[in-house]
Amino acid sequence: MTTAYIESPLGLTLIKGDEKGVSQISCLDGVCGGPAQDGLPLDEPVAQAAQQLTEYFAGTRQTFDFLISPAGTAFQQSVWQLLRAVPFGTTQSYLELTRHLGDEKAIRAVAAANGRNPLWIVVPCHRIVGSDGSLTGYAGGLWRKEWLLKHEGAWPVSVKGKASATAPGQLSLF
């Protein structure tokens, strides 16, 4: 397992993985600077992730194609797979996500799986919003979610033809 760090507009980003794929991408709060890597030669998927995330933040990349290997339950994996299908520059509600799974009653479980996503940005949980277009909880902080949506041109959020610009401090559970 190797680790790389990249600077991003949202803070220092940690990338962990091995030859099987990247298992963790997260933004570190309260940390400035840091080593470019952990001293070991980077496994190829980690090096590719660092490069592709740098391109994403520079505005020259919209999709990612390096190997990933996030650890999670079968249900979490199915939710994360659906998240990867939400295109750059768009949003989807938790309710829409549960409908794709075929069980609207699973909305809380879907929200919990979304919150346990170990691959920040690459599995784009930031693209999931409330049914009214409001920003909802985000592990990296709502200010980061708003920044990412603006970066992708998906802010303000449009829901069924209506624009919503809920302030980051206003939360909607679903």
Model confidence at 155, in pLDDT bands (50, 70, 90)? Answer: confident
Across 140-162, average pLDDT = 83
* Catalytic positions: 125
Contact call for residues 15 and 40 (beta carbons, < 8 A): no
- Residue 153 has phi, psi (to 5 degrees) of 75, 20
Establish if 15 belongs to a structural domain: yes
Across 135-157, average pLDDT = 90
Residues 6+ positions from 167 with CB-CB distance below 8 Å: none
Token duo for residue 82: 């659906």
Residues 6+ positions from 6 with CB-CB distance below 8 Å: 12, 13, 15, 50, 53, 54
CATH code (residue 19) = 3.30.160.70
Provide DSSP, the chain.
-EEEEEEETTEEEEEEEETTEEEEEEEETT-----SBSSSPPPHHHHHHHHHHHHHHHTS-----S-B-----HHHHHHHHHHHTS-TT--EEHHHHHHHHT-GGGHHHHHHHHHT-SBTTTS-GGGEE-TTS-----TT-HHHHHHHHHHTT--SEEETTEEE---TT-----
Model confidence at 39, in pLDDT bands (50, 70, 90)? Answer: low
The predicted pLDDT at position 41 comes to 81
| Omega before residue 35 within 30° of 0, cis | no
Terminal CA-to-CA distance of the chain, rounded, Å?
36
Across 126-143, average pLDDT = 89
Domain count, the chain: 2
Establish if 170 belongs to a structural domain: no
Domain that holds residue 85: 74-164
Q: What is the chain's mean pLDDT, rounded? A: 86
Looking at the fold, whether 108 and 44 belong to one and the same domain comes out as no
Establish if 25 belongs to a structural domain: yes
Looking at the fold, whether 79 and 143 belong to one and the same domain comes out as yes
Looking at the fold, whether 78 and 159 belong to one and the same domain comes out as yes
Answer yes or no: pTM beyond 0.95. Answer: no
At residue 75, what is the residue type?
Answer: F
The predicted pLDDT at position 63 comes to 97
Q: State pLDDT tens for residues 43-60.
A: 999 999 999 999 999 999
